[in-house]
Amino acid sequence: MLKAAYLHIPFCVQICHYCDFNKIFIHQQPVDEYLASMKKEMLNTTSRFKSYEMETIFVGGGTPTSLSENQLNTFLNDVNEVLGNKSVKEFTVEANPEQTTKEKIAVLKDNGVNRLSIGVQAFQSSLLKKLGRTHNREDVYSTVAEAKAAGIHNMSIDLMFGLPGQTMDMFKESVEEALSLDVPHISSYSLQIEKKTVFYNLAQKGKLILPEQELEAAMYEYLIETLDKKGYKQYEISNFAIPGFESKHNLQYWNNNEYFGIGAGAHSYVEGTRRRNAGPLKQYMSLIEEHGFPYIEEHPVPITEKMEEEMFMGLRKQEGVSDQDFIDRYGRSMFEIYKEPIQRMIQKGWLDKHEGRLFLTKDGRPLGNEVFQEFIGVVLD
């Protein structure tokens, strides 16, 4: 049974230089009309696909906290009316520090939001400026303090490494500052240069100077060792949590479970089919009005692709993939289907197996994408 929903708010006050998610500058946009279209999509989706019992809800963007207090309240009311129920265990909203006011935090709390994912990325003003971020370190501290005062203690901090101009000392400082905030979850990702971003255009012109790969690898190693000493367990390649505070919603993805995707540009996975929503606001709202659904792509996932996704999503987790779970889903052992790639990766020291589970080794974690490629395109007997 489907247990998760992702909802996309594409509006931003400022467009970050690295972001390739579906987003749009909020000024003079039809925000209220968009939120009304989202409610229609929620209603139509739950009417069409009835086999669900929501356990996790995640509101991402864009910047959900770019909405006004009234808009945020209306939207969250709609979410609770259509999707919310007593079985929801984790209700997360992404928050930008400079837009997450005390009043908006009260709105979040009043509407059942019990987890914040705070986009910090770095604590140095020079790096934040390069990233196109508009907050400062004081905004981060005040957001965390005000959330705790409101009774929201389950928070995650996002950090980035491998940034232009970032030194090891800078990254160490950011990690130490994040730890000082005493939040139970930290996510940290290396910078990826994506098309249609400011950073991509700069890189094409040779104007984006990034740290050497050795330095980036050293940052990742420092992150793992430092957070482990502080009691944060690395439960996924880029995610660390005090035990019990792992992201229940993201685990739905990594466990290859199905989920609703609501909003412009959102993706969903329901009844064995992946669907992609229209990204541009006008197209999204027109499709909702004319057809009830905003799908521009529908892909029934064949069994071979499901098994591939099971492997490369599951291997992101520290605990890896359970062969028994694989057999229960697909009727065959992963050690039989992927015998050769598994042997190759074990010989290289990038994979290991124990008690029916397959997982990345310490050496394999930084090379995850190379390992995942081994499971794509394997011909089944």
Structure tokens, 268: 């969903």
**Residues 335, 235 share a domain:** no
**Residues 64, 210 share a domain:** yes
The pLDDT of residue 357 is 97
**Residues 335, 248 share a domain:** no
Describe the strand order of the beta sheet including 267-270 as a list of residue ranges. Answer: 267-270, 273-277, 295-300
- Could you report the average pLDDT of every consecutive run of 10 residues in the chain (381 residues)? 96 81 87 98 97 96 95 97 90 95 97 97 93 91 97 97 96 97 97 86 88 94 97 97 98 97 98 97 98 98 96 96 97 96 96 96 91 87 68
The pLDDT of residue 380 is 73
* Counted domains in the chain: 2
Last residue of a domain, one of 207, 238, 254: 254
- Residue 199 identity: F
**Residues 336, 248 share a domain:** no
Last residue of a domain, one of 201, 231, 254: 254
Last residue of a domain, one of 221, 236, 254: 254
366 part of a folded domain: yes
279 part of a folded domain: no
Closest C-alpha to 238, from 176, 170, 190, 166: 190
112 part of a folded domain: yes
Closest C-alpha to 304, from 275, 344, 332: 332
86 part of a folded domain: yes
The pLDDT of residue 262 is 98
Could you tell me where the beta strands, DSSP code E, fall in the chain? Answer: 2-9, 11-12, 24-25, 52-61, 90-95, 115-121, 155-161, 185-190, 233-236, 239-241, 260-262, 267-270, 273-277, 295-300, 321-322, 351-354, 357-360
297 part of a folded domain: no
201 part of a folded domain: yes
192 part of a folded domain: yes
Which structural domain range is residue 342 located in? 320-373
